Chains A and B, each alone.
Chain A
Amino acid sequence: MARAFRRSAFLVAALTILGAIWWFAVHRPRTPGPGQATATAPVSGGTLVVSVRSEPASYNRHVAPSAAVDAMSQLTQGKLVRINRVTGEVEPWLAERWTASPDGRTFTLTLRKGITFSDGAPFTSADVLFSFEALYDPSVDSVIASGVKVQGKPLQVTAPDAGTVVVTLPAPFAPGIQLLDNVWIFPRHQLQAALSAHTFRDAWGLKTPPGSMAGLGPFVISEHVPGQRITLTRNPRYWRRDAAGTQLPYLDRVVFEIVPTQDAEVLRLEAGSIDVMTQADLRAEDYASLKRLRDQGALNLLDVGVGVDPNVLWFNLAPPRAHRVPPYVARAEFRQAISYAVNRDAIVTSVYLGAAVPVFGPITPGNRVWYSNAVPTTPFDPARARTILASIGLTDRTGDGMLDDPNGSPVRFSIITQRGNVRERTATVIQEQLRQVGITVDVASLDPQSIFQRWSAGDYDSIYFGFQASALDPANNLDFWLSSGSTHVWNPNRTQPATPWEKTIDDLMQRQVAAPTLEERQRLFAEVQKVFAQELPAIYFVAPRIAIATSRRVGGVQPALLEPKVLWNADSLYVTSPSR
């Protein structure tokens, strides 16, 4: 007996000592890394190390929509005009100025002179024409084509001479020239042959030798080690200079390290082996340790504002015959009651650790131009929720504390969400909140492909998921608002609006898109939001506050709310300490 005790004591002591060593090793204060300067003038030279979560499937932006490919395009390609992600202003880019016709449908752009591609070939309007041709070609089936069409029709582009391009919109469209922010200019001299042979989709795939792709962006791809990293080096023929006349970009190299999980990315950031993450949003649970490092002077933490693409709970408003959705789900009152019943502050504190704000519609306060506080909200009011539910016949008939429908069966529906994600945790909080007003919710956590499968088959009650915003202007997101849209998630791809209120929204959006002034557009869109808030086909709960962490040596960061949050102005980023 004594021997057994001695042995167990030995084991326990050994484990405790190991645990103590571990604890102290992990919580040692860090000595600050290199690059202590905060606000200094930009210096040329150096390497920036960025992490990216997936390997790009191709260098061809038209066939691969991932975040990695988008970041590559931002760094290696150019466009005619650029939307400043922070101010929202349209800036001249490859086009140095433009004029608009009185009806706002035709734009004449003057291209900058003397610009060449990274391989020395001159940039002319023929390249612009070619790029549009590739964008709309059916054999290319570009993933970004739908973002550069008005009412499904392509833009008309002509080139009266080598330095001028005329773009005509097929219908009045308020954002107008902003559409050109989505058009990457490809080198005609390298890709014309592929387009003519209908093999454009295979062009610029991963088998392409890295140095051979010409572009108008600040960097060129110089090395790709499969599965590990992609290295980009400075394009010496980049056209842009900063205000002081220094040739951009400041950086010599940008290295994209492929790091598949966010846990590992954050750890690398803490260790100082990467400078910034491509998908730069911090999770709330990482904040504590990053803040400690910020206080020790090892990192910069930037608060960007309220996010503009919150997660959303939408309901199946057009179930097929094969899947029976509880009838009360179709009632707007039911969805209103849910919105009243959920305490959004509980989600803010427990899932986001306070780094979020309650929201009540798809437009969040982070979208300053389009957010309207005239839109009615549903503050936390469980009593009111119960009253509304009672008004549509859902009361506690059996005395067990849970609500029942007029037939006596319990009020119960399911939410499908994504496993292992903040969405799953939020759905769990929603489940608990609704249980307290008497509604039973089943949470089914699946992987994204399975979720999509059930959604497209209409085989669901409700889904809690999220979509990345690509633009702040709702006119660029008509697929969500119009009943004919593919991301009109509660009832997509209708030829006719299914309900009167959807017809109202359709009409308002069409008018909003063509309205002449911003004030008129904002007024119309506020009306859209009010109808939405009344019917609530989809409920929004919280929007996270976006925070970004970078190493101390990175300067020139202008964090934005749209992806890529840091790399969108890569040509103006610089590092203040020697290269790695």
Chain B
Amino acid sequence: MRGQFLRYLLGRAAAAFALVFLVSSGALLLAQLAPGDYASEFGRDPASIAADRHRLGLDRPFAEQYGRWLKRSVTLDLGESFYYRRPVTALVRERAANTALLAVVALLLATALGVPGGILTGSTRGPAVSLVRGTSVALLSVPPLITSLLLLTLAARTGWLPVGGIGNPSPDASWIARLIVSARHLVIPALALALPLAATIERLQSQALREAMNRPSTMAARARGLPRSRIVGRHAWRLSLGPLLAIYGILIGSLFSGSFAVELVTSWPGLGDLMRQALMARDTHLVAGCAAAGALFLAIGVFAADVAHGALDPRVAGSRS
């Protein structure tokens, strides 16, 4: 059993590496195909643009550029950003830390809102159910860009919360003061991310729970006269986790890669915003680096979700697919 799990773990790790590698290569290739490159800019003298291209190695054939990148990536050196002229790994690491903070808070918030909401709408009836369902639908229909702007406008007009940014605690502040500053700046971006996510989770959880309530095993428990809350909590809920966790892995992955719309509007210096900048500027090494980070997070997220599924769902525990 232990050996089997270890083999499984190694297999997933290898797959993760392969994914990261393929995605970065794909990003580099796509960058080559997209029109324009980093040096393209209006108002510059063509000789100067050509000199820049030469300096950055952009005038070499793609195979050569890719080969050079490949060689460096083996030592985990993903090159330098054209714009910042700093190593890609350093930039990605800084931004990923910020995004990770936001992602964790948003995920917790979304789960805390979505799962109970879904359990409520999946197992009961009443006006509360319509309210929750209606809210979910509304949240799914509004783009995160607008949600962020709405929240920012509210913050700006009322002054209750800071208008974006990540906070600037004074250097000699106590850790409690720092915590408060961080928390205040986290509210808006975390809400903007968590609300649509909570809606998705609620919808999925609700549907899955309703189906689980109708399974023979659950019916049997009802027939035995167990109280409703126990049925839902002990029996039905664990059966409903399959589809939810399958999507959870993806959600975790995309959260940690950063949502560029929310980060852009709330000026949260995260990975999503870095990726957007790099894409628009055709900063190819940085794009590849961000894509690699995103692939890594997705692999980890999916893996964590699969492990959780295996542990919690009695039907899957004991066998690995």
Contact = CB atoms under 8 A, between A and B. Distances in A.
Complex A–B touching at CB under 8 A: yes
Interface of A: 6-8, 10-11, 14-15, 22, 25-28, 30, 54-55, 57-58, 141, 143, 146, 202, 205-207, 225-229, 257-261, 263-264, 267-268, 270-273, 447-450, 452-456, 465, 467, 479, 486-487, 493
B152 A264 contact: yes
B86 A207 contact: yes
B156 A493 contact: no
Contacts of A22: 150, 154
B153 A267 contact: yes
A57 B155 contact: no
Nearest to A225: B168
A268 B46 CA distance: 39
B152 to A, nearest CB: 5
B280 interface: yes
B130 A264 contact: no
Interface stretch (B18-26, B158-166, B292-300): B158-166
Contacts of B277: 54, 260
Given A228-B166, A260-B273, A264-B265, A453 B157 contact: no
B52 interface: yes
Given A228-B165, A271-B163, 11 more contacts: A7-B129, A30-B157, A57-B84, A227-B94, A267-B155, A449-B40, A450-B36, A452-B41, A453-B35, A486-B43, A487-B43
A3 B42 CA distance: 64
A270 B152 CA distance: 11
A527 B266 CA distance: 50
B182 interface: no
A449 B35 contact: yes
A455 B265 contact: no
B253 interface: no
Interface residues of B, number: 56
Given A25-B158, A141-B51, A260-B273, A11 B134 contact: yes
Q: Which 10 A-B pairs have the closest CB atoms?
A: A227-B269, A449-B36, A453-B35, A7-B130, A453-B36, A267-B156, A271-B156, A11-B134, A452-B40, A450-B35
A310 B98 CA distance: 39
Nearest to B164: A264
Contacts of A228: 165-166, 168, 269
B2 interface: no
B45 interface: yes
B267 A260 contact: yes
B106 interface: no
A26 B280 CA distance: 34
B48 interface: yes
A270 B156 CA distance: 6
A28 B154 CA distance: 11
Contact of A467 (B40, B42, B158, B281): B42
What secondary structure prevails in chain B residues at the interface with A?
Answer: helix
15 contacts: A11-B134, A15-B134, A26-B154, A28-B158, A141-B52, A143-B48, A205-B85, A206-B84, A227-B98, A229-B168, A257-B267, A264-B265, A449-B280, A449-B281, A450-B35
Given A228-B269, A452-B40, A452-B42, A26 B157 contact: yes
A264 B267 contact: yes
Contacts, number: 145
Contacts of B150: 22
A229 B164 CA distance: 13
Contacts of A257: 165, 267
A57 B156 contact: no
B137 to A, nearest CB: 10
B86 A206 contact: yes
Interface string B159-178: 10011111010000000000
Interface in B54-113: 55, 83-86, 91, 94-95, 98
A30 B159 CA distance: 9
Contacts of B156: 267-268, 270-271
B165 A259 contact: yes
B282 interface: yes
Contact of A6 (B48, B127, B282): B127
A222 to B, nearest CB: 12
A313 B131 CA distance: 52
B264 interface: yes
Nearest to A447: B280
A258 B267 contact: yes
Given A57-B84, A449-B280, A455-B42, A271 B155 contact: yes
A22 B41 CA distance: 43
Contact of A226 (B52, B129, B269): B269
A225 B94 CA distance: 10
Contact of B42 (A28, A264, A271, A487): A487
Contacts of A14: 131, 134
B44 interface: yes
A266 to B, nearest CB: 9
Contacts of B140: none
B231 interface: no
A210 to B, nearest CB: 14
Contacts of A58: 85
Contacts of A454: 35
A268 B84 CA distance: 26
B163 A267 contact: yes
Nearest to B157: A26
B267 A226 contact: no
A270 B157 contact: yes
Nearest to A202: B85
A11 B37 CA distance: 51
Contact of B164 (A225, A268, A487): A268
Contacts of B187: none
A26 to B, nearest CB: 5
A479 B44 CA distance: 10
B221 interface: no
A10 B130 contact: yes
B176 to A, nearest CB: 21
